[in-house]
């Protein structure tokens, strides 16, 4: 899991990519399949954040082929999330939802609560992006019940998704409270992407309330964090939203 730990931490993606390729070479020498699968997962996400979706898909397929032989909970969840992330970046939200629903059902059958919450938070995001606000909010309530207190990323994400759903139905005060809680919790971690995403979500809540100048401030923070991580796609998305606030 060392490669994934590096991915989630503060190191730039180019460093994560180099370490993952080194891990992949070691896995090929030693025959440790689980190490190879983890390296492929990180390489898939790095490629996706760079915008190279074809390469990202190739790496996801390589990881999934190994995971099929392992059958353990966490690798299944991670592969499911990686595949859905690529579909989301490609704009294929129905495909992302399908892979997440399938992964969630498998994990539920196997009894994995922690990995299942991680899948559910991304599924809630996809449903939000598809305009299904009630469905997204319902999923966040499931995540709130199931997420362990130390599942920092899940704790951040269910709040952010619910905040936007609540803002869309016209409850700006509650939406802002949730979004700022998410930013606060994310800020206590060294997960640069999660922190950036929380600022973007707060910006969207503020925009829905007609507070463009405050939203722009949040987006500036998100852009800085994405740059620090080397997440080119995230940075471009935040810049587009910032242009919308200025427009």
pLDDT of the residue at 71: 61
pLDDT of residue 73: 64
Q: Which of 95, 73, 74, 75 is nearest to 85 (CA)?
A: 95
pTM over 0.85: yes
Examine residue 192 and state whether it is found in any structural domain, yes or no: yes
Backbone φ and ψ of 241, nearest 5°: -65, -35
Q: Is residue 23 part of a domain?
A: yes
- Say which CATH number the domain at 204 has: 1.25.40.10
Residue 83 lies in a domain: no
Domain boundary among 32, 53, 70: 70
Q: Which residues span the domain enclosing 8?
A: 1-70
Query: What is the per-residue pLDDT across 83-136, written as a single tens digit (0 to 9) for each?
Result: 999 999 989 999 999 999 999 998 888 877 888 999 999 999 999 999 999 999
Which residue's structure tokens are 């800020």? 187
**Would residue 82 count as lying in a domain?**
no
11 falls within a domain: yes
End of a domain among 16, 41, 70? 70
Asked whether residue 22 is assigned to any structural domain, the reply reads yes
Total domains in the fold of the chain = 2
pLDDT under 70 in the chain at which residues?
A: 1, 71-74, 247
Same domain, 64 and 154: no
The sign of the torsion formed by the CA atoms of 160, 214, 132, 75 equals negative
Q: Is residue 14 part of a domain?
A: yes
Residue 51: its pLDDT value, please? 94
Q: What is the dihedral of CA 53, 54, 58, 61, to 10 degrees?
A: 60
In a domain, 196, yes or no: yes
Rounded Cα distance, 86 and 83, in Å: 5
One domain, residues 153 and 64: no
pLDDT at position 115, please? 85
- Which burial class, exposed, middle or buried, applies to 128 when counting CB atoms under 10 A from its CB (0-12, 13-18, 19+)? buried
- Among the three residues 30, 55, 70, which one is the final residue of a domain in this structure? 70
- pLDDT for 68 equals 80
């Amino acid at each position: 899991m060392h490669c994934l730990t590096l991915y989630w931490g503060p190191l730039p993606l180019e460093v994560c990519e180099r370490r993952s390729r080194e891990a992949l070479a070691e896995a090929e020498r030693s025959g440790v399949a689980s190490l190879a699968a983890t390296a492929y997962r990180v390489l898939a996400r790095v490629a996706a954040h760079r915008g190279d979706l074809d390469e990202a898909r190739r790496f996801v397929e390589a990881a999934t082929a190994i995971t099929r032989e392992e059958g353990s909970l966490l690798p299944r969840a991670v592969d499911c999330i990686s595949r859905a992330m690529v579909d989301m970046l490609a704009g294929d939200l129905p495909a992302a939802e399908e892979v997440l629903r399938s992964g969630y059902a498998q994990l539920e059958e196997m009894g994995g609560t922690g990995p299942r919450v991680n899948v559910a938070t991304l599924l809630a995001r996809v449903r939000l992006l598809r305009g299904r606000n009630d469905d997204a909010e319902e999923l966040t309530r499931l995540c709130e019940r199931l997420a362990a207190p130390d599942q920092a990323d899940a704790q951040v994400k269910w709040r952010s998704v619910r905040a936007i759903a609540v803002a869309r139905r016209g409850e700006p005060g509650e939406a802002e409270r949730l979004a700022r809680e998410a930013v606060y919790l994310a800020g206590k971690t060294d997960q640069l992407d999660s922190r950036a995403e929380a600022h973007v979500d707060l910006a969207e809540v503020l925009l829905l309330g007609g507070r463009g100048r405050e939203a722009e401030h949040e987006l500036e923070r998100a852009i800085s964090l994405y740059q620090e991580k080397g997440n080119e796609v995230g940075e471009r998305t935040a810049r587009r939203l910032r242009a919308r606030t200025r427009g």
